[in-house]
Amino acid sequence: MTSAVMDEDRFWDLIDQVGEDDRRGGRIAHALVPRLARLPVPQIADFHTLLVAQGSQTFDEALDDPDLLAEHPRIVKLAGLARR
């Protein structure tokens, strides 16, 4: 059963599930779409809220160019951990 709420851990788990090739190629947002599409609408809204919580600059940049999320410090850190 899927939880009705997306917490910060689940948010980062989804981002962490994105393959290394997509992370390196700056296609994180594109790779997240199929994962998000399988979630209930309230969880998608929570994902959006957690993205907004990363700060207005990150949010605005993600709207303009979703691939910029690949440069977010938390995502860069996750990508480094995945390569170990």
The one-letter amino acid code at 55 reads G
pLDDT tens string 14-25: 878 887 777 777
Q: Tell me, what's the pLDDT at 12?
A: 81
Asked if 79 contacts 27 with a C-beta cutoff of 8 angstroms, the reply is no
Name the pTM for this structure: 0.55
- Provide the residue type at 76 as one letter: V
Non-local CB neighbours of 20 within 8 Å, separated by 6+ positions: 79, 82, 83
- Domain ranges in the chain are 56-84
Mean pLDDT of 51-68: 72
Contact by Cβ (8 Å): 17, 35: yes
Query: Distance between CA 84 and CA 68 in Å, rounded?
Result: 23
